[in-house]
Structure 1
Amino acid sequence: MAGLHQVEAGHTESGEPERRFYLASIGLAWLSPSQAETSATFKLSALADSILAEMTTAEISQDTVAWFIQAMREYGTDPNRGYDHTDIDSRHLYDRPFAIAFARLYDMADPGVQVMRSDDVVSHPFTDASSLRFRINLPDQVGGDFNPTVGMGQIAQTIVG
Structure 2
Amino acid sequence: MQSSVGRMSRLIDDVLDFARGRLGGGFILERGAETNLKPALEQVIGELQTAYPDREIAAALRFDGVIDCDPARIAQMASNLIANALRHGAEDGPVIVDAHRSPDYFELSVSNSGEPIPPEIMAELFKPFVRASARSHQQGLGLGLYICAQIAKAHAGTLDVISTSEGTRFRFRMPLTL
TM-score normalised by the shorter chain: which range applies?
A: under 0.3
Higher Rg? 1
Higher relative contact order (CA 8 A, sep 6+): 1
TM score, norm. by length of structure 2:
0.24
TM score, norm. by length of structure 1:
0.26
